[in-house]
């Protein structure tokens, strides 16, 4: 059974699970510097996807001066290619259904096709962030 939970920074139990997933994916697997991985946490709405009670996907969004920025999509390696990223992203977009501004993200190059299938379009030039190449992507409305 799949469950997706939306929670604030103050929910330390779920935040610890989300941080654990993000550490495994970004800090260990992708070698992102920890000081870049954990920033703006208090400003974010966090999400956690659990399968049969096990936390396996984490993400978040935050309001910026440009709109809502979707960030930190992390799926544990052994759970990829199962459609779980799609489920958590759709849950987040449904949560933002009444938001009238721009919804955007900085997407790693290797997952651009995934986000394009979800209605996002690339904008601008390729850039480096945390030693990984990205494109800015915006949701088509």
For the chain, what is the radius of gyration of the CA atoms?
14
Q: Give the pairing of strands 103-108 and 2-8.
A: unpaired
Of 3.40.630.30, 3.40.50.880, 3.30.43.10, 2.70.70.10, the CATH number of 2-139 is: 3.40.630.30
pLDDT of residue 3: 97
Lowest mean pLDDT among 5-9, 62-66, 86-90, 128-132: 128-132
Residues 132 and 96: beta-carbon distance below 8 Å: no
**132 vs 31: CA distance, rounded Å:** 9
Please tell me the predicted confidence (pLDDT) of residue 37: 74
The bridge status of strand 67-75 relative to strand 103-108 is parallel
CA distances from 21 to 5, 13, 28, 49 (A): 15, 13, 10, 11
Retrieve residue 109's tokens. Answer: 């190059």
Tell me, yes or no, if the pTM score tops 0.85: yes
**What tens digit of pLDDT does each residue of 32-89 get?**
877 777 788 899 999 999 999 999 999 999 999 999 999 999 999 999 999 999 999 9
CA atoms within 13 A of residue 67's CA, in its CB half-sphere: 17
């Amino acid at each position: 059974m799949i469950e997706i939970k939306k929670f604030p920074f103050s929910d330390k139990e779920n935040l610890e699970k989300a941080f654990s997933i993000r550490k495994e994916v970004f800090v260990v697997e992708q070698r992102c510097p920890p000081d870049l991985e954990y920033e703006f946490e208090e400003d974010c709405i966090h999400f956690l996807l659990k399968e049969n009670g096990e936390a396996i996907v984490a993400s978040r969004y935050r309001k910026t001066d440009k709109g809502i920025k979707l960030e930190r999509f992390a799926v544990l390696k052994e759970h990829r290619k199962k459609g779980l990223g799609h489920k958590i992203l759709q849950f987040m977009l449904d949560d933002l259904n009444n938001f009238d501004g721009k919804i955007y993200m900085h997407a790693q190059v290797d997952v651009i096709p995934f986000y394009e299938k979800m209605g996002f379009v690339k904008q601008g030039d390729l850039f480096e962030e945390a030693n990984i190449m990205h494109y800015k992507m915006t949701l088509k409305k």
